[in-house]
A = this chain, B = another copy of it.
Amino acid sequence: MRSGRRRSAAEEARTLLANTNDGALGTLSDDGTPWASMVAFADLGDGAAALMVSTLAEHGRNLERDPRASLMVAHEPRELDQLAHGRVTIAGRAEAVTGDERARARDAYLAAIPAANAYERFGDFRIWVLRPERVRWVGGYGRMDDVEVADLAAADPDPTAAAAARAIDHLNADHAAALLAMARALRGYPDALAARCSAIDRYGLNLSIETPRGHAPSRVGFAEPVAAADGLRAATVELTRLARS
């Protein structure tokens, strides 16, 4: 049994951008100090991010003065050890877009951030598109990689990402025996005592396996990548069937 593909760094980065709507913006203050602030953003699907920023806010004034910027987006919800979880920084230049490009960015932003409909009509907001020139993904301790901008643009976000947290809870709460069967039959731990799902994605699931010799991390791959948001259930049922056959 293969342990299965893992998401590439580009897929991880695209998945973070596609499933999150706030992040930290880095801009340059007038004295040259890098300024970290919170922003909401909309994923534009190609690695770029749409921002709607007040010209009264420090980061808005900063962008007007110098368009160099970066956006750091982290996995939500925050967990106890945030550094163990994924985040990506896209760095490049923000452009105050106009015309069709502005309309597209604005529509994406208002769809992603419904609250913005209440203040968009105030005159001090400007639509920016931050286009990455350099991308760095960090998946946790010891997992990190640079991502080519073209690869980020071409990568598909994991369609199961929004359902993953619920699926993990459900598997651990209601399907402990199935997870144990996977550990025993598919991952070569015939003496496993228990197994918990620690992560799940379109390509498979991570197990934390309790054995008489201690805990072992492992991974079980799905037969096929899951193609739709609601596909995790069928894929794990199939793995369970395989483990018990």
What mask results when residues 33 to 68 of chain A are scored 1 for a CB within 8 Å of chain B, else 0? 111111010000000000000000010000000001
Determine how close the nearest CB of chain B comes to the CB of A98; give it in whole angstroms: 24
B69, B71, B82: the one contacting A38 at CB < 8 Å is B82
Q: Which chain B positions have C-beta within 8 A of A29?
A: 91
- Whole-angstrom distance from the CB of A63 to the nearest CB of chain B? 11
> Smallest CB–CB gap between A59 and chain B, Å?
9
Given A24-B24, A119-B141, CB of A34 within 8 Å of CB of B69: yes
Shortest distance from the beta carbon of A119 to any chain B beta carbon, whole Å: 7
Stretch from A73-81, A162-170, A206-214 at the B interface: A73-81
- From B34, B69, B141, contact of A70 by CB (8 A): B34
Q: Which 10 A-B pairs have the closest CB atoms?
A: A24-B24, A26-B36, A26-B34, A34-B34, A36-B72, A22-B82, A26-B26, A24-B36, A33-B68, A36-B70
Can you name 12 extra interface pairs (CB under 8 A) apart from A26-B33, A35-B70, A38-B83? A24-B26, A24-B72, A26-B36, A28-B34, A33-B69, A34-B34, A34-B36, A36-B89, A37-B72, A38-B74, A38-B82, A40-B82
